């Protein structure tokens, strides 16, 4: 979910005298740092795999049922009121997790000790003034990480106010982030609520990708719901951009398989351009995690409820070399605990 090449793109645009009405959110390319098997490497190009026919389970909702109704906001609530001077209540119907599955004995271990909500102490290399919609006014902040953050001191990152972490696990159907297992273990031991995300690759079938994620991400009590990261990746060897109907179908197949395995409804992470092309009004019953680094999500994704907001890709923190993505939960501390189910955070035996 990193945003490489931001400065170069912005400088080139300014030098050329861009007059587009599209905002900074639209001109920043996708996750440039996702140099994995799903990304082209000049020295060793990856052959795109032709997709197989997608077959949804009999329990899957149809695309027509799940994808095309726009969630309605209350008549007395304006989009700008989602975050005000005090945190606004989130829609629990949209964010409450599904019942969690039974956890095998092998997945149980002693609980992490630290369950306190730590105050945000991050800095930002490129701070944005969000005005009265500042993410600082929300209580529960966290990060997302991948191999590009290197060797993380999770205890220091926790002290800086990271209450949760989403960790890059897999992409495509054959690649695992080389730091995933170390980060998964370190985040759990430091007391962070942790979850895993999958970067979706449009040249592999959804079923293959779901099986790969399930194979590599343990089912652990207290883990955050899994995340499907859907974006247009400008550096990928896969140049395919499926139709909206195909995108929604593939996402549905992937999310149904994960929900059946983990017992939690997956969270959808996305960016402004991909959302505009594919996700307006889609998946009203799934929680969304929205990237919006220049304006409040209500301005970039009007009418869309959200669970997490990625408000910066240039965060700075003790415990991490370089920059890190910063995120916030849309609710109060008590709503965070209610959404988490009141369960203790468990670290697995590895």
| pLDDT tens string 104-130 | 544 444 445 467 999 999 999 999 999
Which CATH number belongs to the domain containing residue 243 in this structure?
Answer: 3.20.20.80
| Structure tokens, 3 | 């945003």
Positive/negative CA dihedral, 201, 207, 213, 219? positive
Q: For residue 295, what pLDDT band results from cuts at 50, 70 and 90?
A: very high
3-state secondary structure of 154: helix
pLDDT in tens, 296-340: 999 999 999 999 999 999 999 999 999 999 999 999 999 999 999
Q: Is residue 129 part of a domain?
A: yes
| Mean pLDDT estimate for the chain | 77
Mean pLDDT of all residues in 83-87:
37
* 143 belongs to a structural domain: yes
Can you give the residue range of the structural domain that contains 207? 6-46+82-340
Asked whether residue 244 is domain-assigned, the answer is yes
Is residue 316 within 8 Å of 169, Cβ to Cβ? no
Give the Cα-Cα-Cα angle 313, 131, 127 (nearest 5 degrees).
30
Could you give the CA distance from residue 268 to residue 286 in angstroms, rounded to a whole number?
7
CA distance 62 to 52: 19
- In the numeric block, which tokens belong to residue 162? 């990271």
CA angle centred on 97, ends 333 and 347, rounded to 5°? 75
25 as an active site residue: the answer is no
Q: Is the pLDDT higher at 247 or at 18? A: 247
The total domain count for the chain is 1
In the chain, count H helices and then E strands. Answer: 11, 10
Q: Of the residues 25, 34, 231, 249, which is catalytic?
A: 231
* Cβ atoms within 10 Å, residue 158: 22
In a domain, 52, yes or no: no
What is the reported pLDDT for 101?
52
15-57 pLDDT tens trace: 444 444 345 454 444 443 444 434 333 334 434 444 444 444 4
Sign of the alpha-carbon dihedral angle for 32, 180, 60, 330? negative
pTM equals: 0.71
Tokens of residue 31, six digits: 């996750």
């Amino acid at each position: 979910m990193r945003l490489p090449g931001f400065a170069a793109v912005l400088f080139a645009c300014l030098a050329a005298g861009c007059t587009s009405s599209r905002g900074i959110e639209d001109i920043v390319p996708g996750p440039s740092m996702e140099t994995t098997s799903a990304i082209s490497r000049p020295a060793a190009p990856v052959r795109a795999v032709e997709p197989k026919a997608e077959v949804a389970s009999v329990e899957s909702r149809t695309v027509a049922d799940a994808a095309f109704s726009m969630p309605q906001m209350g008549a007395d609530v304006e989009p700008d009121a989602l975050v005000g001077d005090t945190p606004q209540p989130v829609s629990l119907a949209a964010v409450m997790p599904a019942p969690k599955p039974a956890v095998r004995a092998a997945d149980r271990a002693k609980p992490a000790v630290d369950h306190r909500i730590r105050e945000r102490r991050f800095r930002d290399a490129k701070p944005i003034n969000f005005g009265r919609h500042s993410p600082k006014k929300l209580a529960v902040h966290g990060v997302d990480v991948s191999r590009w953050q290197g060797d993380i001191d999770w205890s220091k990152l926790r002290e800086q106010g990271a209450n949760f972490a989403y960790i890059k696990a897999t992409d495509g159907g054959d690649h695992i982030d080389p730091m995933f297992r170390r980060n998964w273990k370190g985040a759990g031991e430091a007391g962070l609520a942790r979850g895993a995300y999958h970067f979706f690759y449009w040249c592999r079938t959804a079923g293959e990708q779901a099986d790969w994620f399930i194979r590599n991400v343990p089912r652990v009590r207290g883990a955050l719901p899994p995340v499907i990261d859907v974006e247009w990746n400008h550096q990928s060897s896969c140049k395919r951009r499926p139709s909206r109907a195909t995108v929604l179908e593939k996402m549905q197949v992937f999310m149904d398989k994960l929900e059946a395995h983990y017992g939690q409804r997956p969270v959808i992470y996305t960016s402004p351009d991909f959302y505009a092309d594919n996700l307006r009004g889609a998946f009203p019953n799934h929680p969304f995690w929205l990237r919006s680094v220049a304006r409040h999500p209500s301005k970039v994704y009007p009418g869309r409820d959200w669970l997490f907001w990625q408000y910066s890709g240039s965060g700075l923190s003790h415990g991490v070399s370089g920059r890190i993505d910063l995120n916030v939960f849309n609710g109060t501390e008590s709503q965070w605990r209610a959404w988490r189910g009141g369960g203790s955070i468990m670290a697995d035996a590895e």
